[in-house]
Homo-oligomer: A and B are copies of this chain.
């Protein structure tokens, strides 16, 4: 079997909910696969191979275009919850029963809603450059794949995603209550100078999620995982490979007093 990479993985298609989802799947099989959720107006091609190939070294990674994005058919929904429902339909359609979910920026909102809606499907979360309901999101672009690129996103994508972002980001009473129901072990990661979704949102996320690690990189912005790709791959791999966060922790330090 050919071991594909970010550059060579063929674009495949699967149908669910009347949507034809485009995706690419590569890396080492055996562990729980990691599904990537893209940022505002981004497509599969906007992931950085330093990160995807780095993580594919010891697990399968799955990139996909959610509904209405680029090579996938359907419409971009105007709520984050519907985007999460579409992501779920896609994951079920390719026959996966347990998944780790990585989300960057807008994709981090989708990842949170997916974890909330599907606690059994989603094992672990990696939330990059993102925030809780009440945070705000915009675009950041990273383009590296040159051959067989995804079509650019249509003009309908931006407005629908913006509407979804705005709804999700609207201030409300007790805005962080929802996050206490996200019980999956979570890694929250950002740069210390994110001016798209302010870095402090990562701190707020960590403080309100029941079981989250936080990692902040120095001198780094919204796409900090691309500024320190080797470091990030090591941190993310360590996190994904941990047996169980609660089990790892000592409930009480032996001999402490």
A→B interface (CB under 8 Å): 48, 140-144, 185, 192, 199-200, 203, 206-207, 209-220, 223, 226-231, 234-235, 238, 242, 245-246, 248-250, 253-257
Known A213-B218, A214-B216, A218-B245; judge A253-B142 contact (CB<8 A).
yes
- A178–B164 alpha-carbon span in the complex (Å): 43
Known A143-B256, A254-B144, A256-B223; judge A192-B207 contact (CB<8 A).
yes
**A215: chain B residues within 8 A (beta carbon):** 213-216
Known A206-B192, A206-B216, A214-B214; judge A142-B255 contact (CB<8 A).
yes
- A232–B235 alpha-carbon span in the complex (Å): 12
- A4–B226 alpha-carbon span in the complex (Å): 40
User: Does the CB pair A249–B234 fall under 8 Å?
Assistant: no
Please tell me which one of the listed residues B211, B223, B250 contacts residue A229 in the complex, with CB atoms under 8 A apart: B250
Please tell me which one of the listed residues B142, B219, B223, B249 contacts residue A219 in the complex, with CB atoms under 8 A apart: B249
**A250: chain B residues within 8 A (beta carbon):** 226-229
Q: This chain: how many copies in the complex?
A: 2
**A/B interface sample: 23 pairs, CB < 8 A:** A140-B256, A141-B256, A142-B253, A143-B257, A144-B254, A144-B255, A185-B218, A200-B203, A209-B218, A213-B215, A213-B217, A214-B216, A215-B215, A217-B249, A218-B245, A220-B249, A226-B253, A227-B249, A228-B248, A231-B238, A231-B242, A234-B238, A238-B238
Q: Nearest B residue to A140 by beta-carbon distance?
A: B256
Q: Nearest B residue to A242 by beta-carbon distance?
A: B231
Q: Nearest B residue to A253 by beta-carbon distance?
A: B226
- A110–B162 alpha-carbon span in the complex (Å): 48
User: Does the CB pair B227–A253 fall under 8 Å?
Assistant: yes
Q: Nearest B residue to A206 by beta-carbon distance?
A: B216
Minimum C-beta distance from A145 to chain B (A): 9
User: Does the CB pair A255–B218 fall under 8 Å?
Assistant: no
**A141: chain B residues within 8 A (beta carbon):** 256-257
Please tell me which one of the listed residues B210, B217, B223, B253 contacts residue A218 in the complex, with CB atoms under 8 A apart: B210
**A206: chain B residues within 8 A (beta carbon):** 192, 216, 218
**A229: chain B residues within 8 A (beta carbon):** 250
Minimum C-beta distance from A213 to chain B (A): 6
User: Does the CB pair A255–B192 fall under 8 Å?
Assistant: no
User: Does the CB pair A219–B214 fall under 8 Å?
Assistant: no
Known A227-B250, A256-B141; judge A211-B218 contact (CB<8 A).
yes
